[in-house]
Structure 1
Amino acid sequence: MSQLREALDCLAAGDWLGAHAVVQDDPSAEAAWIHAHLHRVEGDPDNAAYWYRKAGRPAAKGSLEDERAAIIAALGAG
């Protein structure tokens, strides 16, 4: 999970590419969720939808901030 926390730290620092690089090749459902979130941040809902399916989660409808907080809580990263 430390790599996933690194992705969230990168995103918080404004490093979208760094966050994406961390989750790109991670096969876990948690990484897919973060990957989906990143594509929401990017403004690519179709790509995000793909990653939500890979994560086994419904597409997020709330704010980016609320989703990021949910991810952090689920990972125990905050």
Structure 2
Amino acid sequence: MNKQKHTKLRLYLEKNGIKHKDVAQAMGMTTNRFSQKINRNKSDFTLQEASLLCYVLDINMNDFFYNPIVPKTGINKISI
């Protein structure tokens, strides 16, 4: 996942009138914890949480959590 806040997800919730507390409750976490995760403050969604979130919201995980940019690793070639 990229290092930015989950802006696309936040906009989706806002546009659809979905409150953080309702999503948090459906996921079995506190509103404060959900807020920390969606704002990437001290924590991020685990794969299991992201999967549950997508199930609860009936959204595609790739649309909100997939980052097609692969960082460079500094490896130029592999010796075998």
Return the index of the structure with the highest Cα Rg.
2
What is the TM-score when the length of structure 2 is the normalising length? 0.30
Per chain length, whose mean CA-contact separation is higher, i.e. which structure has more relative contact order (CA < 8 Å, sep 6+)? 2
Higher normalized helix content (fraction of residues) = 1
